[in-house]
Amino acid sequence: MDQFLINKDSAVPLYLQIYTQLRQAILQGVLPPGSRLPPTRRLAHQCGVARLTVTEAYSQLKAEGFITSRQGSGTYVSDSLPATAHIPRHLLPETQTPLSAWGERVMSTKPRVERPLSPRPPIDFGFGRAFHHIFPYDIWRKLLDRYLSTDDAMLSRYGSVAGFDPLREALAHYLGRLRGVVCRPDQVVIVSGAQQALDILARLLLEAGDEVLMETPGYVDAYAVFQAFGAQVAYLPVDNAGFPVESIPADSRARLLFVTPSNQFPKGGTMPLARRMALLQWAQNHGAFIVEDDYDGELRYDGRPLSALQGLDKNGRVIYLGTFSKVLFPALRLGYVVLPPELTEPFIQAKRLVDRGAPTLTQAAVSDFINESHFERHLRHLRAAYGKRREILVQALETYLPDIVQYSSTPAGLHVMLFLPPQVEETAVIHKAAQAGVGVYAGARYHLQQPAPPSILLGFSGLSEEDIEEGVRRLAGVLRGGGNSEG
């Protein structure tokens, strides 16, 4: 061991440098079992460090069992140290693939994830983004600070699995008043987002091979969850009034239906009352559960949001999902599920196993945010800001692309899905738009049927009003075959 590399300028303590090198030498067999280590005094001299430094390195090696002292005769590499050699993979006994069937399916659904455009175009119609200038961060900061004090033991305990009780109460009250949801606080469970709720529900309610019924175009991340789970995913094309209940095949054995009645995702459109009632009746007759994803139910710009499907359900068939990603901010990772009474306890027990519950601090802050009227005020601001942006987008579409595209007229949500003329290739449009400095996003991945009608998504929630108009102007140039319309 003459090859010690000691760097006195390193942030790594000297003892640790010596320890690491000795350990490495022992593990690699450079210092074989039974071999004697130099006395601490000599090694210290050799390395130019204090003797205490070497002693410290030896103590750590001793504590970990790499070396032993023999009374009066020095320090030796442990005799009992068995070697593990790195065995090249082809010499190993044939083992199974390390992934489960679920793992293999998870890997096979991977390509559906869209990569962001690079470089990010100056006018980016990316969606699902909050318009960050609107969120009242100063209020949020004050609400967090309230709980961040050493006098408060709340954070030093594990929280409740089902969620912070004041938040569950605030949500039950809010949802009843503004979304027409009928529930008690104990039916509300806080989750880390709609995605987690779907994953838990699939595991709780389905066996691999069971049928799930979805909308197309639809929420692909739900599709991915069900597909990875091994469910048989059937789907029905939506029209301008959402999920076509009357088209459910008579022989459907679906145990779970996933729908977005308030504002169909991503096409847009609201499910009328007759379809809602028929859907509830269908679920009741077939013993199926309906997952109602009310992902942006609050974001309706023509007056009051429509009530949720859940409120019409008298037989406990509807599971209601809500999220704060769209109305507070996405990085919050907080959502909620309202469960029929018979599923509440199983869901909570599953949540306990899956991650023990959501972070208390965030929940406490959201709870105060709702109870102290900040939430409804913020929603009003959001509706004004997003409603205006949607109007500008629609006006720009009317101005620059009056005949070329079709889209839902429902004044809601954070994006518009444009259906392009059938002969247009959507990837070419996306590519050319990017060259013109405009980011638009592929509709194909939201369609479960193939071939999908060409379509693109324009998210407007992250853009200024000027950029929306200018973006559509450039997009029109692209769609009219003008290619790069900059300048």
Q: How far is the CB of 55 from its own copies (least distance, A)?
A: 12
129 binds its own copies (CB under 8 A): yes
206 binds its own copies (CB under 8 A): yes
80 binds its own copies (CB under 8 A): yes
Member of 158, 209, 251, 423 binding its own copies (CB under 8 A): 158
Residues of this chain, 399-428, that bind its own copies according to CB under 8 A: none
Q: Per-residue x/- marks for its own copies, 173-192, CB under 8 A?
A: ----x-------------xx
CA-closest candidate to residue 429, choices 372, 393, 482: 482
CA-closest candidate to residue 313, choices 343, 287, 277, 337: 277
224 binds its own copies (CB under 8 A): yes
Q: Per-residue x/- marks for its own copies, 267-306, CB under 8 A?
A: -----xxx--xx-xx--xx-x-x-------------xx-x
Strand partners, 458: 416
5 binds its own copies (CB under 8 A): no
482 binds its own copies (CB under 8 A): no
Q: How many residues bind its own copies (CB under 8 A)?
A: 116
Q: Per-residue x/- marks for its own copies, 314-353, CB under 8 A?
A: xx---------x---xxxxxx-------xx-xx--xx-xx
Q: Which is nearer to its own copies, 42 or 352 (CB)?
A: 352
Stretch that binds its own copies, among 40-48, 359-367, 398-406, 442-450 (CB under 8 A): 359-367
462 alpha-carbon distance from chain centroid: 18
Member of 42, 120, 141, 184 binding its own copies (CB under 8 A): 141
Member of 53, 58, 187, 199 binding its own copies (CB under 8 A): 199
Q: Which is nearer to its own copies, 189 or 334 (CB)?
A: 334
361 binds its own copies (CB under 8 A): yes
Q: How far is the CB of 359 from its own copies (least distance, A)?
A: 4
Member of 5, 8, 82, 119 binding its own copies (CB under 8 A): 82
Please say whether the beta carbons of 255 and 162 come within 8 A.
no
6 binds its own copies (CB under 8 A): no
Q: How far is the CB of 366 from its own copies (least distance, A)?
A: 12
250 binds its own copies (CB under 8 A): no
Q: How far is the CB of 331 from its own copies (least distance, A)?
A: 4
30 binds its own copies (CB under 8 A): no
Residues of this chain, 108-127, that bind its own copies according to CB under 8 A: 109-110, 113
